Copies of this chain bind each other. A is one copy, B any other.
């Protein structure tokens, strides 16, 4: 069985040999996974499947068994038990190397603000794939570290700004998970210094009283992070759309950002809308009308599996081709990096092939757009060539 990602039928040729830039992903688990651990990473649910059922019975589960099994020298559609047994037999290291190097991803932009201690670092992730990595710094994670290390209400904003500048170092961009913490329907104006101080006092006071791990949820503080982040001038990624059971999905519609996009357009800072599903058409509208907005359908591609070509095609309706990016949003399982890339190649390549066959797109245009979406847009926006 070939380990070429283009081995997925229907990919056409426009994606052939194209080394992708994954502009949003995470590391992989370096240790071996039992069935519960594997299933937990193969769903966005925070709980196990009901008794008698399995997360393998999903589009993602079927795609893993179909497309990843052969890379572990199993038959396509190998059963879950066989798959997991083989994974243990080979060991996490070999599996990760095999899947990541087959993904055809040359550059990984890695969000280091989520479960970083359990996952491979950007450098380790890239090494497994034989590629390069750049960091994406999560705003909320930096703020929570500032709180954990000790700050005061009046100094919080400056302490955060300083910590962010330091953390950003040579990071490629920033990321906001305001969608998870307060929804995207937040006040689009910047909070005043006084508002931030009062909100910081409430938050830090609770932390002192309770001794809990800091979790930043106050919309005033989350807005402060965003407006501070804008000053760095680097692209800001936003979680939008589908995620785990912590989100109120209807408050993660990227359209809720419309006012904030108007308010911040003048800064020229690129805004990267991640995932977007099932609001990817709405995201396409934002990408067309706001010059600073970019979109991907990462996460949804993996989880919709055999339906991902439809999702990818829908994301290419209003989105100008200089505004669409590839990502996997893979986390924990190298299967997700591999599949995210393979399914994207298949989905984009298949759509392009149909449009070429129908005489609608020229081959030259399709190849140019494949390169834009595959890595050139990311290179331009994140300055990866520099």
- Chain A interface residues toward B at CB < 8 A: 9-10, 43-50, 52-55, 57-59, 62-63, 66, 76-77, 242, 244-245, 248-250, 253, 255-256, 258-259, 262, 265, 277-278, 281-282, 285, 288-292, 300, 303-307, 310-311, 313-314, 316-322, 355, 358-362, 364-365, 369, 372, 380
B307 touches A62 (CB 8 A): no
What is the distance, in angstroms, from A126's C-beta to the closest C-beta of chain B? 27
Residues of B contacting A289 with CB < 8 Å? 43-46, 244-245
B322 touches A303 (CB 8 A): no
Residues of B contacting A45 with CB < 8 Å? 288-291
What is the distance, in angstroms, from A274's C-beta to the closest C-beta of chain B? 16
A66 touches B360 (CB 8 A): yes
Residues of B contacting A314 with CB < 8 Å? 307, 310
What is the distance, in angstroms, from A225's C-beta to the closest C-beta of chain B? 24
Residue in B closest to A284 when the chains form the complex, CB atoms: B278
A-B contact pairs, 16 of them (CB 8 A): A45-B289, A47-B291, A50-B292, A53-B320, A55-B320, A57-B369, A59-B318, A62-B365, A66-B360, A76-B362, A77-B362, A248-B259, A306-B358, A306-B360, A306-B361, A307-B316
**Bound CA–CA A149/B364 (angstroms):** 55
B43 touches A288 (CB 8 A): yes
B311 touches A317 (CB 8 A): yes
**Bound CA–CA A157/B181 (angstroms):** 37
A44 touches B358 (CB 8 A): no
**Bound CA–CA A320/B242 (angstroms):** 15
**Bound CA–CA A304/B45 (angstroms):** 31
Residues of B contacting A317 with CB < 8 Å? 59, 300, 303-304, 307, 311
Residues of B contacting A321 with CB < 8 Å? 57-58
B288 touches A44 (CB 8 A): yes
Residue in B closest to A362 when the chains form the complex, CB atoms: B77
Among A44, A306, A319, A380, max chain B CB count under 10 A is at A306
**Bound CA–CA A311/B313 (angstroms):** 11
**Bound CA–CA A53/B368 (angstroms):** 12
B278 touches A303 (CB 8 A): no
What is the distance, in angstroms, from A138's C-beta to the closest C-beta of chain B? 21
**Bound CA–CA A320/B42 (angstroms):** 11
B256 touches A250 (CB 8 A): yes
B245 touches A355 (CB 8 A): no
Other-chain residue from B50, B253, B277 in contact with A250 (beta carbon distance below 8 A): B253
- Beyond A62-B360, A255-B248, A307-B314, whether A277 also contacts B281 by CB under 8 A is yes
What is the distance, in angstroms, from A124's C-beta to the closest C-beta of chain B? 29
**Bound CA–CA A321/B52 (angstroms):** 12
